[in-house]
Structure 1
Amino acid sequence: MDRDRFVALHRSGCFLLPNAWDVGSARLLESVGFPAVATTSAGIAFSLGRPDHDFFAEHGPRGRLDRDTVLRRVGEIAAELTVPLSADLEDGFGSSPEAVAATITMAATVGAAGGNIEDFTGDRTAPLHDLALATERIQAARAAAPGFVLVGRTDALLVGGTLADSITRANAYLAAGADCAFVPGAADAATIGTLVRELDGPLNVVMGLTGNALSLPDLRALGVRRVTIGGSLARAMYHHLRRAALELAEHGTFTYAETQISQSDLNDLFRPH
């Protein structure tokens, strides 16, 4: 089963879990040999011409994708992969433990082998859920899907909190049933090393946000269990798309096409499994 394979990846060693945003990007990542693939909320939002989940004032009342839209994309991707898929489920699409439990149940139903729940609220006056509520949300997620690889994410570092805050929250989520802790914003060796030592379970870190100097062997040596790359691949793709568009619009030249993947190669890649 996909979930059994995904659980096994979290038991020892260190693995890279790249983030896709649609079936094509996920199939390409699978084709080069990754043992599992994750989704990126940012990449999915951008592919639909919408902003990623942010503070409410920034993304506006219609900026955020709704749960059904996100889970429809997760289901599309899961149905076309032969490796496990982990879903970026943001804050669970609701503040209550019941809403989070429903999201986890739906994600498992559409084929996700795991997923993350974050404590970010989107409210600048209180950017993180109260620790007690955040912990109850993880407990509810765990109870909703016992075989689901659950990641408890704390955004404490991203909203100006301390490393100590992050450790307290991550350990609370692990104690509540999360299989892995995720602390975005931890990108240097000293911070990551401290987290590995202080956390009571496996650590996920995100790389590629700013071209981090640490490599996968470096992270393995630090004791990291899982490495994701967030929306960085999607943003890199859009960088190339915009550069090509500007070349066309401003110069009327076509040098961007010199590095494209051939039609036949893509046809071969995307033939049904």
Structure 2
Amino acid sequence: MPTQMEKAALFRKMHEERRAFVMANAWDAGSAGRLTALGFEALGTTSAGLALSLGVEDGHVGREGTLANAYQIVQATHLPVSADLENCFADDPAGCSETIHFAIDVGLAGGSIEDATGNADEAIYPFELSVARVRAAAEEARGSGTGFVLTARAENFLHGRPDLDDTIARLQAYAEAGADVLYAPGLPDLRSIQAVCESVSKPVNMLMGLSAPLVSASDLARIGVARISLGSALARTADAAMLHAASQIRQQGHFTYGRR
């Protein structure tokens, strides 16, 4: 089994190659094992997928539950694992730093910090506070000596603020603050994705979920995307298949859901 530092170094190298590798998102140890067996090179966790499996809303699992789940996934695979740490479960920079410290303790190769507040009245943190939060998280990651790969997320497009200029300005500032990977989930098309890639110097992650633009991995590699993540797409697909089978049994009394 590779060490945490070896996994983090490999994870960092994958991003530097800018080849749009796919980081599949697991929601428990079982899914992590299956995705590992399929040959993926790295795994992510998913806050929405975990919440779905626990029967709660996304954003309501909390730091302790999130890190316990991440630990189980780390233990289930030899691959680098990057955790969805939401907003690092803190509004202030010190709290973000603390979350990164705990994330490193569970053996993760990387993790993310987002600028969404979780508060509907003010969905996105103000610019300067957002940068300060990323800076604190990056300093904690660097100071650990593990090579932990920090992903900074600009969440505008997921929260009713489709402002590409502000999104790019935030990503540029997060890179300057020390983030290793940049991520703007919800970009609507290849043109906006390319604009992000051309505007920043750090590797870019692109979310390819259930409502993503109809583009291929080769399309994304061609415009400079370094990493493709799947978010909760696999968890939701598994859940939909279960509901389809259970509904057929309950409503029709048939058991043919598994036939092709």
| Coarse TM-score class (shorter-chain normalised) | over 0.9
Question: Shift of the alpha carbon at 1:99?
Answer: 0.9
* SS of structure 1 residue aligned to 2:151: strand
Counterpart residue type for residue 214 of structure 2: A
Report the Cα distance in structure 2 between the residues aligned to 1:211 and 1:122, rounded to whole angstroms. Answer: 22
State the percentage of identical aligned residues: 38
8 Å CA contact 1:187–1:207 kept in 2: the answer is: no
**Counterpart in the other structure of 1:21:** 27
Report the Cα distance in structure 1 between the residues aligned to 2:14 and 2:201, rounded to whole angstroms. Answer: 17
* SS of structure 2 residue aligned to 1:210: coil
Question: Shift of the alpha carbon at 1:131?
Answer: 1.1
8 Å CA contact 1:187–1:206 kept in 2: the answer is: no
**Counterpart in the other structure of 2:199:** 198
Question: Shift of the alpha carbon at 1:252?
Answer: 1.1
**Counterpart in the other structure of 2:155:** 155
* SS of structure 2 residue aligned to 1:46: helix
Give the root-mean-square deviation of aligned CA atoms.
1.1
Report the Cα distance in structure 2 between the residues aligned to 1:48 and 1:109, rounded to whole angstroms. Answer: 24
Structure 1 position 7 matched with structure 2 position 3? no
**Counterpart in the other structure of 1:59:** none
Structure 1 position 66 matched with structure 2 position 62? yes
**Counterpart in the other structure of 1:96:** 92
- Give the gaps of 5 or more residues in structure 1: 54-63, 260-273
8 Å CA contact 2:8–2:148 kept in 1: the answer is: yes
* 1:1-273 alignment, distance < 5 Å: 1-12=6-17, 13-53=19-59, 64-146=60-142, 147-161=147-161, 162-210=163-211, 212-258=213-259
Counterpart residue type for residue 165 of structure 1: D
8 Å CA contact 2:186–2:212 kept in 1: the answer is: no
8 Å CA contact 2:188–2:212 kept in 1: the answer is: no
Question: Shift of the alpha carbon at 1:211?
Answer: 5.5
For these two proteins, the number of residue pairs brought into alignment is 249
Report the Cα distance in structure 2 between the residues aligned to 1:14 and 1:158, rounded to whole angstroms. Answer: 22
Report the Cα distance in structure 1 between the residues aligned to 2:216 and 2:247, rounded to whole angstroms. Answer: 32
Question: Shift of the alpha carbon at 1:14?
Answer: 2.1
* SS of structure 2 residue aligned to 1:227: strand
Counterpart residue type for residue 160 of structure 1: G
Report the Cα distance in structure 2 between the residues aligned to 1:122 and 1:243, rounded to whole angstroms. Answer: 31
**Counterpart in the other structure of 1:61:** none
8 Å CA contact 1:187–1:205 kept in 2: the answer is: no
1:164-216 CA distances to partner (integer Å, 9 max, x unpaired)?
01001011111100001100111411111111111232111101222631010
Report the Cα distance in structure 2 between the residues aligned to 1:225 and 1:167, rounded to whole angstroms. Answer: 16
* SS of structure 2 residue aligned to 1:172: helix
1:78-123 CA distances to partner (integer Å, 9 max, x unpaired)?
0121110000000000101111111111111101100110000122
1:109-144 CA distances to partner (integer Å, 9 max, x unpaired)?
101100110000122221111111111111111111
8 Å CA contact 1:209–1:230 kept in 2: the answer is: no
Q: Taking structure 1 as reference, are residues 96 and 25 closer, same or farther at Cα in structure 2, changes over 3 Å only?
A: same
8 Å CA contact 1:105–1:145 kept in 2: the answer is: yes
TM-score by length of 1: 0.89
TM-score by length of 2: 0.93
**4+ aligned runs moved over 3 Å, structure 1:** none
**Counterpart in the other structure of 1:57:** none
